[in-house]
Copies of this chain bind each other. A is one copy, B any other.
Amino acid sequence: MKKLINDAGTVVPDALRGVAAAHPGLRVDVDNQIVFRASGPRTGKVGLVSGGGSGHEPLHGGFVGYGMLDAACAGEVFTSPVPDQMIEATSAVDGGAGVLHIVKNYTGDVLNFRMAAELSAEEGVRVESVLVDDDVAVRDSLYTAGRRGTGATLFVEKIAGALAETGAPLAEVARVAREVNARSRSFGIALSSCTTPAAGRPTFELSDTEVELGIGIHGEPGRTRSALRPARELVDLAMDALHEDLPLSGDLLVMVNGMGGTPLIELYIAYAAVADHLAGRGARAARCLVGNYVTSLDMQGFSVSVCRLDDELTGLWDAPVETPALRWGR
């Protein structure tokens, strides 16, 4: 394993110390692994708390700031954070209007956030939880833990965050968050595995001519292995999978997301193919992001996320945001 780290056991606090040093707009509780806005809670504003395992940077800490999250809890690499962190974050960001938990649908995240929500409620904070489960690679049925939460988490955090900034009530913010999730789908493809610092070797092995289709963001193998092929064809595979689940039409918010080890030049090549694919279906990327936003350590690969926009969602997407990883309008 070759990583720019000090010690496999201190990866998360070491990185959080860097986040703290780099971003004066954030307050980082390194011991409890929580990233807050430095400005603290705003009275009457719904607080947004998210969190999850580390290794997906900039998700979630990089999305804390005006117009997006109020706090993010960082777990160990690929391991959901614990209820204590969530409870601490929840009470710290409550401005009296309640707190929204944005939870990616993994058993660990769900169980820990559920415990935290119950205990926070007992402490008198109004909490609503929204589950993100956008990954069409997982068939949602009795036979799985349900779809995973992946790229759409960014969409939910941005759009719900923008609405919260307007002073909308908790129920409204939760409604729009669920709406974004319901309108969003993702599909990911890996060209390589990733190596967690603790394990020290790649989670799975891929030959030079293979890709994993339908991967999540934890280095877990995908649903099938397939032959490496031109970017255009890989994108078509992903887009077809999305379309099968949610017809691609009208104005879309589109993200071509890198898994951490894929350079930007390749992501733009993929985005060109996405734009072509959408044109072929008569749909349009009204808004887009191309970059490394929801990553899986050093994995090479990409995911495509789409959200069917309406005027309300487009307006909230365009609203100002000021976080380390997403910034416009201020």
Contacts and interface: CB of A to CB of B under 8 A. Distances in A.
User: What range describes how many residues of A lie at the interface?
Assistant: 35 or more
A223 interface: no
A268 B7 contact: no
15 contacts: A2-B228, A3-B191, A4-B262, A4-B266, A4-B300, A5-B269, A14-B268, A15-B272, A17-B275, A18-B290, A19-B268, A21-B274, A57-B263, A261-B263, A330-B330
A21 B275 contact: yes
Interface in A1-33: 1-7, 11, 14-22
A146 B62 CA distance: 38
Nearest to A16: B268
Interface in A97-111: none
Contacts of A1: 208
Contacts of A328: 322, 327, 330
Interface string A249-273: 0000000000011111111111111
A70 interface: no
Contacts of A157: none
A232 interface: yes
A54 interface: yes
Rank and list the top 3 A-B pairs by shortest CB-CB distance, nearest first: A18-B268, A18-B272, A21-B275
Contacts of A290: 18, 22
Interface stretch (A37-45, A79-87, A291-299): A291-299
A329 interface: yes
Nearest to A14: B269
Nearest to A285: B21
A234 interface: yes
B302 A4 contact: yes
A265 B297 contact: yes
Contacts of A234: 4
A297 B263 contact: yes
Contacts of A22: 268, 271, 275, 285, 288, 290
B208 A6 contact: no
Nearest to A264: B57
A62 to B, nearest CB: 7
A87 B267 CA distance: 29
A18 B228 contact: no
A192 interface: yes
B265 A6 contact: no
A232 B7 CA distance: 10
Contacts of A228: 2
A95 interface: no
Interface in A34-93: 54-55, 57-58, 62
Contact of A300 (B2, B6, B267, B285): B2
Given A7-B230, A22-B288, A275-B18, A191 B266 contact: no
Contacts of A262: 4, 298
Interface string A174-201: 0000000000000000011000000000
A231 interface: yes
